Amino acid sequence: MAAPRFAPVPPAEPVRYYESPDFVPAGWEPGRPGEIEGRQPAGERLGYQGPDQGYIITLANRARTRIRVSAGEDIDDALRGCSLIALRRASLFGRAPSVHDLNLALSLWGYLSDSPPADQVAVRKELFVGVGNVHHYKEGRAIADMVPESTLRMSPETVASQSSTNWRSLTGYAQ
């Protein structure tokens, strides 16, 4: 067995120390049929991959008391739709979701405002209805896909300040 050079050795034994092996195996490479090479696939209803995405559930539960919904809206629908937007934003930066991602999404649709524009409330009532139910995945993906990447790269403060006057272009909503 190898030993450090400073370890005491009986005089009758030769000094042993670490030496590199004669053969060094090659590095590991994916070779199985199921391995993804290159980037994750992108397309309709495939979502946006990122690390630790389940943390958005904790963030959404913490934000539940801050959300303001009007009559006819469901908090679960708002949280699920905005969580999907937040996950997309986090994946753009290659990281786990943070409270700032969720705040951006909630501000974008006026869920953190005391008095959002009436036309924005009407649109979000129509878009977010039923999204809280897991069977409405396609509708939730459509909400997340609708938001332009330029909006997702903005700071949450910028989005919050512009969302009441410029919400259509920020959300990507077109009539």
pLDDT at residue 54 tops 90: yes
DSSP code for 114: S
* Ramachandran angles phi, psi of 50, nearest 5°: -170, 165
Contacts of 74 (CB under 8 A, 6+ apart): 128, 129, 132
Which H or E run includes 10?
Answer: none
2 vs 169, which has greater pLDDT? 169
Task: Write down the pTM of the prediction.
Answer: 0.76
Give CA separation, 71 vs 15, 21, 113, 121, in Å.
83, 72, 15, 10
- Chain segment 116-174, per-residue pLDDT in tens: 999 999 999 999 999 999 899 999 999 999 999 999 999 999 999 999 899 999 999 87
91 pLDDT more than 70: yes
